Chains A and B, each alone.
Chain A
């Protein structure tokens, strides 16, 4: 692990920490959190100042914690909220019908992520749903964001929602893993830094995770959202 500290700016401390953990790919126990700026009031408020936190990776733990949490079984207590599953499914159906789309919707809880939070998965199936994905998944991500806000409001806590249409995200993940390996080979062959196209944090994370144990290269994200991109460089 090259990066040992990371500063994150986000609307709330919880969100900042969650994002930082996602970028580092470690669990909450693996870092120390310093709040650098508590921000000013108003969660999504107009002109409100955001929170700034610094995560410092504790030595030794990082890698083993990740692997341990990846194989741990789902947390049943957190997953026991059937009401939220039905609420998310109905909200998705309501949104789709108002977008004049017909589709089948199923919801389920996913595997706990590296922080132990259980994401809520929304699967949408039907014919001719490519409009629901959009260019570079723009529409899919917009739907996912709106759903996460609505579901989180209902739950009174932040709920990570993952929306998939006809297995698009799984296919995309496979492509990204291949891309990561190909670009790593290219970095090794040419000795030059490889810069990937801009991606969402979720997509960048897939690349980082694919290369985290690579013996010869390391990956890091550069630039500002929404043009933040992964670069792959040779380890020194």
Chain B
């Protein structure tokens, strides 16, 4: 799931080197935190969060196959 998030984020931003995703687990819950360059925030969030929400939908497919729940937060730099 971390790999999927990183892949999408790096493909969308102007500064792929500054994409960082951390993954933590608690039982069957997976929490992803994504950090990108400040001027790339809009590219991974999108209008009304549309890009971030699309990423969450795709993450859910990956998570459900492993019986897990996943959350994705885009962190302020």
Q: Which residues of A contact B (CB under 8 A)?
A: 11, 42-46, 48, 50, 91, 94-95, 98-101, 131-132, 134, 138-139, 141-143, 145-146, 149-150, 153
Contacts and interface: CB of A to CB of B under 8 A. Distances in A.
A98 B54 contact: no
Contacts of B54: 141-143, 145-146
A99 B66 CA distance: 11
30 contacts: A43-B42, A44-B45, A44-B47, A44-B51, A46-B41, A46-B42, A46-B45, A50-B47, A95-B4, A95-B7, A95-B8, A98-B4, A99-B58, A99-B61, A100-B62, A100-B66, A101-B61, A131-B64, A132-B61, A134-B61, A139-B57, A139-B58, A141-B54, A142-B53, A142-B55, A142-B58, A145-B50, A146-B8, A149-B51, A153-B12
A226 to B, nearest CB: 10
Interface string B31-52: 0000000000111011100110
B69 to A, nearest CB: 15
Interface in B1-37: 3-4, 7-8, 11-12
Nearest to B54: A142
Interface secondary structure of B, over-half rule:
helix
Contact of A48 (B42, B51, B58): B42
A11 B46 CA distance: 10
Interface of B: 3-4, 7-8, 11-12, 41-43, 45-47, 50-51, 53-55, 57-58, 60-62, 64-66
Most chain A CB within a 10 A radius of its CB, from B45, B61, B64: B61
Given A44-B42, A142-B54, A146-B8, 13 more contacts: A11-B47, A44-B45, A44-B51, A94-B7, A95-B4, A99-B62, A100-B66, A132-B61, A141-B54, A142-B53, A150-B8, A150-B11, A153-B11
Nearest to A149: B12
A87 B41 CA distance: 24
Contacts of B61: 99, 101, 131-132, 134, 139
Nearest to B4: A98
A205 to B, nearest CB: 19
Nearest to B8: A146
A143 B51 CA distance: 10
